[in-house]
Every structure is written in structure tokens, then in C-alpha cells.
Amino acid sequence: MGISEEIKQEKFKSEFSKAVVNILYTNSWINQQNLQLFKSYGLTTPQFNILRILRGQHPNPATVNLLIDRMLDKSSNASRIIDKLEQKGLVVRSQCSKDRRAVDVLISARGLDLLAKMDDEMHAWERSSNNLTEKEAEMLNFLLDKVRS
Amino acid sequence: MGISEEIKQEKFKSEFSKAVVNILYTNSWINQQNLQLFKSYGLTTPQFNILRILRGQHPNPATVNLLIDRMLDKSSNASRIIDKLEQKGLVVRSQCSKDRRAVDVLISARGLDLLAKMDDEMHAWERSSNNLTEKEAEMLNFLLDKVRS
DNA sequence: TTAAAATATTTGTTGAAGCAACCTTTTTTA
DNA sequence: TAAAAAAGGTTGCTTCAACAAATATTTTAA
């Protein structure tokens, strides 16, 4: 079913403006799918995203500033999201030795474990809902990059 | 600049999982662009989306249920979003005559005016940031539809 | 026909998001 | 080098969102 049928809108100003709506709609669809998984592990979407960035840095820490910079949805609330992760024992906070204004955030063993468990389900989902060929996925990446260029 | 450089992540599990991140990132980019416009007219993103659906129905009303169904980001808060639009005089609420449980929501003349003004800026933005050819936009729509299929 | 189930919407509560003000530390510059 | 500006984080306040419970009406089923 195409985007027109799904949102019951026949006409668009242009093929490009249809694509814009299609991106927003597909984003919402993906979030909906992920949300169930995240909730079943007691995480919110931003919490999960921060954990993933931290794993990317591991075994090095990341400053709060770096986390904000890398987040998909830049949040002005990074501190409090990290609070939650710290309360759950998934990350460790410590003062940065090189710059005492900065705070080093490090993913804990427990955080790594949790992500590892989630990875399995995540990849299972990606495999099962990957309807694109390799070439098509490449083309999609190319076009999305071009939208933002 | 491609998605890898923008979020500083070299490796992805697959081209498809890269595309998933790319959709989320591009969505965030579009929202960022729109947000400024919406705010300058005193609207939030969900408020704007509901207004647009109502314009699509005009001169017929839409029930709250229909609005939720058509929203890109299905919100559990539709009632209160409509409250805000009503307070601003952009929509009118009335009991549905066919089903007294339901509420008819109708966009007001003022609501239509506001959208008309926003349209101009919206289309100006779309024209200026449309980097895709007609064929490419079609291909993008095709691929996004396929992701959700 | 009447009680039970379902539907449409609203509202209370709680947790998260955005903005701006604030504190501390570092960098700049006169 | 001392004051001003900038940078990194945190926190208070207000608004927004999700979830569930409540209300009113309609539909279903015994």
C-alpha cells in the first residue's frame, strides 16, 4: 500500500512534497515498531539512542556534549536522560580529568549486556522487515542524503 | 555529506539498517526545518498536522477519531490538541448529529486563512530545498513504500 | 428488551521535552 | 594578568505526551 492510500490523501503539490510526507510517515512507522521493543526492556527511545552512542565509543567515555552532538533527535535534556540511565546502572558518570567542566559518561557492563540482548531482537526485526534488495537500500541512502544536501 | 559523516558512524550492520537510521535522521532534519515556520505562526507540529487534515476534509467536518486515524504521528492527545486550536479560533467543535458520541471538528475561516499564509512559505521552502529530479522523487516514494510493505 | 460489550471522546496523573537561567571552569583579550 | 566572554553541564518552570480510567452513547446478544 502506497503513502496515498495509507494517509488517504490523493493529491500532493509535487512528487517531492509527497516524498517529504512519506519520510515523516515512514519514520513514524519505524518508531512505532521500535517502541514496543524498547519498552519491553524498560527504555525510552532517547535512552536507547544514547546507550548505542556510548557503545560506539566504548571503552572510551563520551562527554555529554559529544552525546548531544551525535544524537539523532538533539535533546536539550541530555543530562536528565543520562540521570535515568545512571539510576538503572547502565552508565557511569565521572568528572573529566582533562576539562573539569566536562563529564565523562561510560557505558557499564550491564549496559553492554542489555544492548547485546536487544541487538538480537533488533536484527531479527531488521531481517524480517527488510523488503529491499542491496541495490535498493543503497539507492534509498543515496536519495535521502540528497534530500538533505 | 552522507549519513555516515553526519552522525560519525562508520559501520552499519547492513545497507538496510543504515537506511533505517537515515530515515530517522532525515525526518529529524525535516522537522527541524519546519519547526521554525510553525513556531513563527504560533503552532506546534501536531496542531499544524491536524489543521491540514481538516482542510483536506473542508467543507465537511472530521470526527476526532478520523483525525487520529489520519495523523502521521498518532497522538493519544488529540482532544487537547484540538482544545488549543479551538482556543485560538482556528477550529469549531460541535456534537455530531449522526452519532452523539462523536464530535465534529471543522476548520474555521481563520484556520483556512492561516494555512493559506503558511502554504506560501512552505512551498517556497520545498522549492528551494528540492534537490531531487522528478524521477528521483518518484523512486524515493517507491522505496519508502517498499520499506513499510 | 435489557444487560453486556463496544465505541467516541474527555480528563487525571505521571513522566519526558523544551527553554532559559544558573554555576563552574576554561579561554580570550585588552 | 585580570576582567570579559565562552563552553560544559545541571536544574526550575511550563508545556506536551502516553496511559489508563471515566463518561456518554450506540451496538450486540441472550
- Spanning CA of B129 to C1' of C4, the rounded length in angstroms is 56
| Radius of gyration for chain B, computed over Cα atoms and rounded to the nearest angstrom | 19
Judged by CB atoms closer than 8 Å, whether chains meet at A14 and B126 is answered as: yes
Q: In A, which residues are within 8 Å of B148 by CB distance?
A: 1, 6, 26, 29
Cell numbers found for residue B97: 448529529
Backbone angles phi, psi at B18, to 5 degrees: -65, -40
Asked if residue B108 lies in contact with residue B90, where contact means CB atoms within 8 angstroms, the answer is yes
pLDDT band at B51; cut points 50, 70, 90:
very high
- Over residues A7-23, mean pLDDT: 91
- pLDDT score of B95: 96
- pLDDT score of A19: 96
For residue B77, say whether its CB is under 7 Å from any atom of strand D: yes
Q: What percent of chain A has pLDDT over 90?
A: 82
- Over residues A112-125, mean pLDDT: 93
- Over residues A27-32, mean pLDDT: 91
pLDDT band at A9; cut points 50, 70, 90:
confident
Judged by CB atoms closer than 8 Å, whether chains meet at B19 and A141 is answered as: yes
Judged by CB atoms closer than 8 Å, whether chains meet at B30 and A20 is answered as: yes
Nearest Cβ partner of A24 from B27, B123, B146?
Answer: B27
- pLDDT score of B147: 96
- pLDDT score of B1: 83
| Tens-place pLDDT, residues B61-118 | 999 999 999 998 889 999 999 999 999 999 999 999 999 999 999 999 999 999 999 9
Between the alpha carbon of residue A125 and those of residues A33, A130, A144, the distances in Å are 9, 8, 22
| Tens-place pLDDT, residues B52-76 | 999 999 999 999 999 999 998 889 9
Nearest Cβ partner of B15 from A14, A27, A138?
Answer: A138
pLDDT band at A36; cut points 50, 70, 90:
confident
CB-hemisphere CA count at 13 Å for A103? 14
For residue A79, say whether its CB is under 7 Å from any atom of strand D: yes
Q: What are the strands, taking DSSP E only, across chain A?
A: 62-63, 91-95, 103-107
Asked if residue A85 lies in contact with residue A51, where contact means CB atoms within 8 angstroms, the answer is yes
- pLDDT score of A129: 87
Whether the upstream peptide bond of residue A59 has omega within 30° of 0, thus cis, is yes
Strand D interface, A 110-149, C-beta < 7 A:
none
Asked if residue B108 lies in contact with residue B71, where contact means CB atoms within 8 angstroms, the answer is no
- Average pLDDT score over chain B: 94
Asked if residue B71 lies in contact with residue B49, where contact means CB atoms within 8 angstroms, the answer is yes
Domains of chain B in start order, with CATH, are 12-129 (1.10.10.10)
Antiparallel, parallel or unpaired: β B91-95 and B62-63:
unpaired
Q: Which of B70, B32, B34, B30 is nearest to B50 (CA)?
A: B70
Put residue A147 in one of left, alpha, beta given phi > 0 → left and psi -120 to 50 → alpha: alpha
pTM: 0.93
Residue with cell string 488549543 = B84
Distance CA A64, CA A91 (A): 12
Nearest Cβ partner of B7 from A3, A25, A70?
Answer: A70
| Residue of B4, B8, B18, B20 to mutate when probing chain A, most A C-beta within 10 A | B20
Cell numbers found for residue B106: 471543522
| Tens-place pLDDT, residues A44-92 | 999 999 999 999 999 999 999 999 999 988 888 999 999 999 999 999 9
For residue A99, say whether its CB is under 7 Å from any atom of strand C: yes
Q: In A, which residues are within 8 Å of B131 by CB distance?
A: 146-147, 149
Quote the distance between the C-alpha of residue A106 and its chain's center: 18
Q: Which of B146, B144, B149 is nearest to B24 (CA)?
A: B144
Q: What are the strands, taking DSSP E only, across B1-149?
A: 62-63, 91-95, 103-107
CB pairs under 8 A between A and B: 151
Between the alpha carbon of residue B21 and those of residues A21, A143, B142, the distances in Å are 17, 14, 18
